[in-house]
Structure 1
Amino acid sequence: MTGVSIVVPTVRRASLRPLLDALGPLPPDLQLLVVEDRERRGPAAARNTGWRRATGEWVVFLDDDVVPAPDWVRRLRADLDVGDEIGGVQGRVRVPRPAGRRPTDWERTTIGLEAGEWITADMAYRRRALQETGGFDERFPRAFREDAELAHRVRRAGWRLVRGGRTVAHPVRPESPWVSLRTQRGNADDALLRRLYGPRWRTRLGVPPGRRSRHALVTAAAAGALGALALPGRWRWSAAALGLGWAAGTAEFALARIAPGPRTPAEVATMALTSALIPPLAVGHWLAGRWRWRAA
């Protein structure tokens, strides 16, 4: 290993300081670049800025809300001592669990990062692989799917990706109870992936199946019920049937989110309300993305 550059994109979150403290003083052959995304162009653009200014043979991307383990640098060196056919090495992510209770819906979302493939919470790429593929696609403005999309292009260029032994902790950051509504914006990014890679984009990129098809059915039932109510009386039975379909779909979604959680009154109420709002939001962002990226 001839040299390593560590790139950390940030929007000045408080979590940056624990990361830098955990890295500590770095040896001369490790370069650290902290890229402040002042214009809020997104982490993909910030990472591209970082690796294009980096000098190392390897570029390690760390998110600004992880905490490297004390032996992270030593294990990083071992991880990057690989054959020339290896284009990327992923670190291992560990999410601390809450003490004395089950995790909330948001905490479970963060815990899901532990099983993520090629996520840039801690992902090292050979600089040549980034140069060959052009780096991250800056049309992805969020920390969502942009890492899976790059990994797909790197593998398609002939490189292998492997998992390493280094570890970072990923604490669950505090969030609004309504964070699940905001994250539905990612459906627009899925629409871009659908445009770029076709109907089987999830399989190609290794992205797990989602609930959008069910969200579409629930949303259609709700819209149909409201539409039938505006029609003459004989359509009221149709409105009732569609309304029951909407209620059943919403209840199933809410129960699926409530059952594994702490089931506190606040969590149950939040899950019930957001489960009614998420399907139309998800479908709306998906349709907006399909329109926006129709010519991509």
Structure 2
Amino acid sequence: MIRKPRTSADPDVSVVIPTVPANDHDAVVDALREGTVEEFEVLVVDDADLDICEARNAGIEAATADIVALTDDDCRPPPEWLARVRDALAGDVVCVEGRVEGGRTYRGTGLYVGCNLAVDRETALAAGGFRSAYAGWRDDTEFGWRMEDRGPCRYDNEMVMVHPDLPRASIDDEKEARLRREYPRRYEERIVPDTALGRVNDWLWRRGFWDAVDRVRYAGGNS
């Protein structure tokens, strides 16, 4: 089911938010309404029967603006986010990834974090959208790498999204191996050499290691 809590006769940007009925998405929509761009629409794809890739694709297909911005139901866009999205996707640029702050941080290494992406709608559709084979792990990275084959893609440090909570995704070793197999050069260039330590820390964090360390470190901290 696709709902449009915000509509516009001629939107500059269409915002696609995949979600499921169990998750709250009102806060992210409220944050978008407080932004500086007046002409935009919001498409909330609220369907538990769709995986995240199918939900994003459904939103992109239903969007009416040439520019589609992607974020998640647990994010909080700053007031200037949509304006930056609109300005960043200018000329022949087909995909822009932005900075992420909060419970998750990202500084732009060509991995295309799905909570802060802007795409040219027609190019995204021509690329085939998001692939369900990667749903839940690396689906955004794989999509971004295919968009690179369609036109210029770039990182915009001023296109900021706030992700207050820790990511819900879990590492999927099979999908990770598939990405490496299908995109060996980009995988070796972007994921292996420069982020090896970060990936180890991320792996440990997602499995609760650092939470356990913190519990030990701060046990009895008020005594």
| TM-score tier after normalising by the smaller chain length | 0.7 to 0.9
Structure 1 residues 30, 202: CA separation in 2 closer, same or farther (over 3 Å shift)?
same
Q: TM-score, normalised by structure 1?
A: 0.57
Match of residue 248 from structure 1: none
What SS class does the counterpart of residue 52 from structure 1 fall into?
helix
Match of residue 104 from structure 1: none
For residue 262 of structure 1, report the CA deviation from its aligned partner: 5.6
| Richer in helix (by share) | 1
For residue 10 of structure 1, report the CA deviation from its aligned partner: 0.5
Match of residue 6 from structure 2: none
Residue segments in structure 2 that go unaligned for 5+ positions in a row: 1-9
Supply the AA of the counterpart residue of 2:215. Answer: T
- CA displacement, residues 189-225 of structure 1 (integer Å, 9 cap, x when unaligned): 1122234234x45126x324587xxx9xxxxxxxxxx
- CA displacement, residues 232-291 of structure 1 (integer Å, 9 cap, x when unaligned): xxxxxxxxxxxxxxxxxxxxx89xx968986332899xxxxxxxxxxxxxxxxxxxxxxx
Match of residue 29 from structure 1: 39
Counterpart check, 1:145 vs 2:155:
no
Supply the AA of the counterpart residue of 1:119. Answer: V
Structure 1 residues 158, 74: CA separation in 2 closer, same or farther (over 3 Å shift)?
closer
**Structure 2 Cα separation of the partners of residues 25 and 258 of structure 1:** 38
What SS class does the counterpart of residue 130 from structure 1 fall into?
helix
Decide whether the 8 Å contact of 1:79 with 1:164 is kept in 2: no
Counterpart mapping for 1:227-246 below 5 A: none
Counterpart mapping for 1:144-163 below 5 A: 144-163=137-156
Match of residue 121 from structure 1: 115
Counterpart check, 1:194 vs 2:187:
no
What SS class does the counterpart of residue 20 from structure 1 fall into?
helix
Match of residue 5 from structure 2: none
For residue 74 of structure 1, report the CA deviation from its aligned partner: 3.0
Decide whether the 8 Å contact of 2:95 with 2:118 is kept in 1: yes
Structure 1 residues 13, 122: CA separation in 2 closer, same or farther (over 3 Å shift)?
farther
- CA displacement, residues 88-109 of structure 1 (integer Å, 9 cap, x when unaligned): 122321116xxxxxxxxxxxxx
**Structure 2 Cα separation of the partners of residues 16 and 163 of structure 1:** 25
- CA displacement, residues 67-90 of structure 1 (integer Å, 9 cap, x when unaligned): 01122233333323x222x11122
Counterpart check, 1:203 vs 2:188:
yes
For residue 163 of structure 1, report the CA deviation from its aligned partner: 1.6
Structure 1 residues 2, 8: CA separation in 2 closer, same or farther (over 3 Å shift)?
closer
Supply the AA of the counterpart residue of 1:155. Answer: E
For residue 133 of structure 1, report the CA deviation from its aligned partner: 0.9
Q: TM-score, normalised by structure 2?
A: 0.73
Q: Decide which moves more: 187-196 or 59-68.
A: 187-196
Decide whether the 8 Å contact of 2:34 with 2:79 is kept in 1: no
What SS class does the counterpart of residue 94 from structure 2 fall into?
strand
| Richer in strand (by share) | 2
- CA displacement, residues 14-38 of structure 1 (integer Å, 9 cap, x when unaligned): 4522111111278663121100132
Supply the AA of the counterpart residue of 2:91. Answer: G
Match of residue 7 from structure 2: none
Match of residue 265 from structure 1: 216
Which of 64, 74, 78 is residue 69 of structure 1 equivalent to? Answer: 78
**Structure 2 Cα separation of the partners of residues 49 and 37 of structure 1:** 10
What SS class does the counterpart of residue 118 from structure 1 fall into?
coil
Match of residue 183 from structure 1: 170
Q: Decide which moves more: 42-51 or 164-173.
A: 164-173
Count of matched residue pairs: 199
Q: Decide which moves more: 145-154 or 186-195.
A: 186-195
Same amino acid, percent of matched pairs:
28
What SS class does the counterpart of residue 32 from structure 1 fall into?
strand
CA RMSD of aligned residues (A): 3.5
Decide whether the 8 Å contact of 1:79 with 1:165 is kept in 2: no
**Structure 2 Cα separation of the partners of residues 174 and 157 of structure 1:** 29
**Structure 2 Cα separation of the partners of residues 94 and 32 of structure 1:** 22
Counterpart check, 1:45 vs 2:54:
yes
**Structure 2 Cα separation of the partners of residues 133 and 174 of structure 1:** 26
For residue 122 of structure 1, report the CA deviation from its aligned partner: 1.2
Supply the AA of the counterpart residue of 1:46. Answer: A
